[in-house]
Amino acid sequence: MMVRWKEQLSTGVWWQEKQHRELFARFAKLVAAMEHGRGREEIEELYEFMENYLGRHFQAEEAAMDRIGYSGKRAHAAEHRKLLEEITALRAEFETGARLSLVLKVQRRIIDWFMNHIGNMDKSLGSYLRAEDLKHQQVVVNC
């Protein structure tokens, strides 16, 4: 499965877009590293990055939702927590030595989740942010 950014996932919010593109690039590296049996250390570093970066990205989105009083925040934040839990579980599975099945799980669960989340929830949030003229708000995190 090829992990690539697709323009139809664009939210139109510059800081969110920048983070989404970086996340896709890192997901692609993680999947490629796992598919090619690269060193455990490289894969571990990618998992570490994903957990940290996703945490910051989700905080930025949730701060934007708080700032504008976004009514969909509860459901949106719940989806964020689910993904972080999923990544933690997949990382634990990786540490037990599972390989091929884990590559397939990362591709199916994480990548599909991420594309669906951006394609639906984040696009909806992006529309709301743009409508409120907040796309240049100071809720931007350092990426």
CA-to-CA dists, residue 134 to 6, 19, 84, 125, 126, angstroms: 24, 17, 26, 11, 9
**pLDDT tens digit sequence for 87-106:** 888 888 888 876 667 777 77
Question: In b/e form, how buried is each residue of 37-68, taking b as 16+ CB within 10 angstroms?
Answer: eeeeeebeebbeebeebbeebbebbbebbeeb
d(Cα 66, Cα 11) in Å, to the nearest integer? 18
The pLDDT assigned to 135 comes to: 46
We find that the CATH architecture of domain 11-131 is Up-down Bundle (1.20)
Predicted confidence at residue 80, as pLDDT, reads 94
Comparing 81 with 94, the larger pLDDT belongs to 81
pLDDT value of position 74? 97
pLDDT band at 82 (very low <50, low <70, confident <90, very high): very high
The pTM of this model reads: 0.78
Position with higher pLDDT, 45 vs 126: 126
Q: Which tokens sit at 111?
A: 């990548």
Nearest by Cα to 49 from 32, 26, 70, 68 = 26
pLDDT at residue 58, rounded to an integer? 94
Residue 48: left (phi > 0), alpha (psi -120 to 50), or beta? alpha
Judged against a pLDDT cut of 70, whether residue 1 lies above it is answered with no
Number of Cβ atoms within 10 Å of the Cβ of 4: 9
pLDDT digits (tens, 9 = 90+) for 22-65: 888 888 887 788 778 776 777 788 788 888 988 999 999 999 99
Name the average pLDDT for the chain.
82
